[in-house]
């Protein structure tokens, strides 16, 4: 977990913020949001909102009243108490890629399988920069669709003791996620945050039944929901960053208002996923200046409403390989989220090919960038000792500091040392195989997996979890 000490970069003027607020208020009241769920419509009706079929026209004042009930930060408890963290406020946490249907290991690109899910969770566990493995690093396509979530939930508990999440793939998966959390945490789940679910709005302006099932189930349980509009400008949002920001607020705040109407004070997170569409071919594009500005503005707007914020990055890229394009697009996205003060960043390790691929080499590349950013956003102590006057007194004029006492005392940890990047000269680099960054990344993740040790887990808890998974698999027909 990173604590922010520097001022946030906030590019929108006070007049601009007021204009954006008027925009989302007009959108929710005049156009409205469609909710494909009778229970959600019933909740809005009970709260006096105007309903036309399945479209809800929201009173902006009521939305703001509901949103104000959400906590600005909350404690998130992991199975290992030392892995717990605070979500919101001046805190940032990070996780790896989520939801990819394919994986890439070296030159092999194929359908993702359970073994890939498990290895990605192991990599999230062994690297302290990742505060949680997320809910679904990639799709276990080798397992039956109706019950594969059970194996992922089990892996989340057994292979790591970091904070756990649930994937909203189905109503059953969400209910089973809460059941697994209750196995792990007992009745603590009734008073503490121990799991979460991430839902995406079916933009533009639609909440579908599956996402609303997840939202309502978790809201009633008092566990946090990450409400994330998924906007690609020119496709699911207008081809204008301010217009997309307005839509993002309209969709996100409407969902959070629903959560608070169901369970006032329930923790929730305002999400953003705002990027562009390549209007030459219709493909998603990432890491550009529009999404950079959108991230900065999204953080500014989340603070306006005192909501924890999930950034739309992550090390996002459209590149099909962990190459230079992947690095600059990923860094441009992730750095903007840092500058904007994002409270949680998904996809900070392994996102490739527009999110279709979870790449093991890209995870190592992203990890180097994440470590660099964490170091850059950690304050530097400036005191008399840091001025190193004694080193100048020793070296004097025209000498060098390589062998000075001050250097010898500090050389092991005085500078940031990337694990992937190389400073070898051409001759040494050539002698060692002349590998580019992607090739150098392969033995690094392989070593990480070789060094992985599973965290301790109570035998009775593991037996109860295995029994639950086996029973639910039978009940689901797999």
Q: Which residue has the tokens 């509901």?
A: 66
**pLDDT tens figures, 192-219:** 999 999 999 999 999 999 999 999 999 9
pLDDT of residue 478: 75
Q: Which residue has the tokens 């003791």?
A: 161
Q: Percent of the chain at pLDDT above 90?
A: 99
Res 312 pLDDT > 90: no
Res 328 pLDDT > 90: yes
> Is residue 477 one of the residues assigned to a domain?
no
Res 351 pLDDT > 90: yes
Q: Report CA-CA distances (Å) from 65 to 29, 47, 59, 305.
A: 15, 12, 10, 11
pLDDT of residue 36: 98
Res 449 pLDDT > 90: yes
Residues 6+ apart with CB under 8 A from 44: 35, 51, 56, 58, 258, 261
> Is residue 281 one of the residues assigned to a domain?
yes
Of 188, 210, 241, nearest to 81 (Cα)? 188
Res 342 pLDDT > 90: yes
Domain span at residue 237?
Answer: 2-7+67-376
> Is residue 428 one of the residues assigned to a domain?
no
Which band of pLDDT confidence, cut at 50, 70 and 90, is reported for residue 187? very high
Domain count, the chain: 1
Of 354, 188, 360, 178, nearest to 281 (Cα)? 354
pLDDT of residue 2: 96
> Is residue 103 one of the residues assigned to a domain?
yes
Q: How far apart are CA 352 and CA 256, in angstroms?
A: 30
pLDDT of residue 114: 98
> Is residue 389 one of the residues assigned to a domain?
no
Q: How far apart are CA 81 and CA 88, in angstroms?
A: 18
Instruction: Look up the CATH number of the domain holding residue 342.
Output: 3.20.20.480
**pLDDT tens figures, 56-94:** 999 999 999 999 999 999 999 999 999 999 999 999 999
> Is residue 286 one of the residues assigned to a domain?
yes
pLDDT of residue 105: 98
> Is residue 471 one of the residues assigned to a domain?
no
**What percent of the chain is helix, strand and coil (3-state, nearest 5)?**
45, 15, 35
Bridge partner residues of 138 (DSSP): 100
> Is residue 474 one of the residues assigned to a domain?
no
3-state secondary structure 205-272: CEECHHHHHHHHHHHHHCCCEEEEEEEEECCCECCCHHHHHHHHHHHHHHHHHHHHHHCCCCCEEEEC
Res 5 pLDDT > 90: yes
Mean pLDDT value of segment 416-427: 95
8 Å CB contact between 145 and 178: no
Q: How far apart are CA 79 and CA 87, in angstroms?
A: 16
Mean pLDDT value of segment 314-333: 97
pTM for this entry:
0.96
pLDDT of residue 313: 79
Mean pLDDT computed over every residue of the chain: 97
């Amino acid at each position: 977990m990173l604590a922010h000490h520097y001022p946030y970069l906030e590019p929108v003027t006070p007049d601009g913020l007021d204009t954006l607020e008027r925009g989302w208020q007009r959108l929710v009241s005049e156009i409205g949001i469609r909710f494909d769920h009778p229970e959600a419509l019933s909740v809005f009706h009970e709260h006096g909102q105007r309903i036309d079929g399945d479209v809800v026209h929201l009173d902006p004042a009521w939305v703001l009243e509901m949103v104000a009930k959400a906590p600005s930060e909350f404690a998130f408890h992991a199975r290992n108490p030392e892995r717990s963290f605070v979500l919101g406020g001046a805190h940032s946490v990070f996780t790896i890629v989520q939801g990819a249907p394919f994986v890439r290991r070296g030159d092999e690109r194929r359908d993702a399988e359970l073994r890939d899910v498990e290895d990605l969770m192991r990599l999230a566990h062994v690297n302290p920069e990742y505060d949680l493995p997320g809910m679904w690093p990639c799709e276990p396509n080798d397992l039956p669709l109706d019950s594969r979530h059970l194996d992922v939930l089990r892996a989340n508990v057994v292979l790591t003791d970091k904070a756990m999440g649930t994937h909203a793939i189905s109503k059953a998966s969400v209910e089973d996620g809460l059941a697994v959390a209750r196995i792990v945490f007992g009745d603590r789940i009734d008073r503490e945050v121990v799991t979460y679910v991430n839902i995406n709005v079916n933009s533009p302006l639609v909440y579908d039944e599956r996402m609303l099932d997840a939202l309502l189930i978790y809201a009633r349980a008092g566990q946090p929901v990450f409400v994330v509009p998924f906007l690609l400008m020119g496709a699911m949002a207008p081809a204008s960053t301010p217009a997309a920001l307005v839509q993002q607020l309209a969709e996100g705040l409407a969902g959070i208002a629903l959560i608070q109407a169901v369970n006032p004070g329930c923790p929730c997170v305002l999400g953003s996923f705002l990027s562009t569409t390549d209007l030459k071919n219709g493909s998603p594009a990432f890491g550009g200046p529009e999404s950079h500005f959108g991230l900065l503005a999204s953080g500014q707007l989340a603070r306006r409403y005192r909501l924890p914020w999930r950034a739309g990055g992550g090390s996002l890229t459209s590149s099909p390989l962990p190459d230079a394009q992947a690095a600059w697009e990923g860094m441009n996205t992730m750095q903007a989220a840092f500058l904007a003060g994002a409270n949680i960043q998904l996809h900070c390790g392994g996102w490739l090919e527009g999110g279709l691929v979870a790449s093991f080499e890209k995870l190592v590349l992203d990890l180097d960038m994440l470590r660099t950013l964490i170091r850059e956003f950690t304050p530097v102590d400036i005191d008399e000792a840091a001025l190193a006057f004694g080193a100048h007194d020793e070296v004097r004029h025209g000498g060098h500091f390589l062998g000075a006492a001050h250097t010898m005392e500090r050389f092991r940890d005085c500078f940031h040392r990337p694990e992937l990047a190389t400073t070898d000269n051409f001759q040494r680099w050539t002698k060692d195989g002349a590998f580019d960054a992607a090739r150098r990344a392969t033995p690094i993740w392989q070593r990480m997996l070789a060094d992985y040790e599973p965290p301790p887990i109570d035998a009775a808890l593991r037996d109860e979890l295995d029994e639950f998974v086996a029973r639910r698999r039978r009940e689901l027909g797999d």
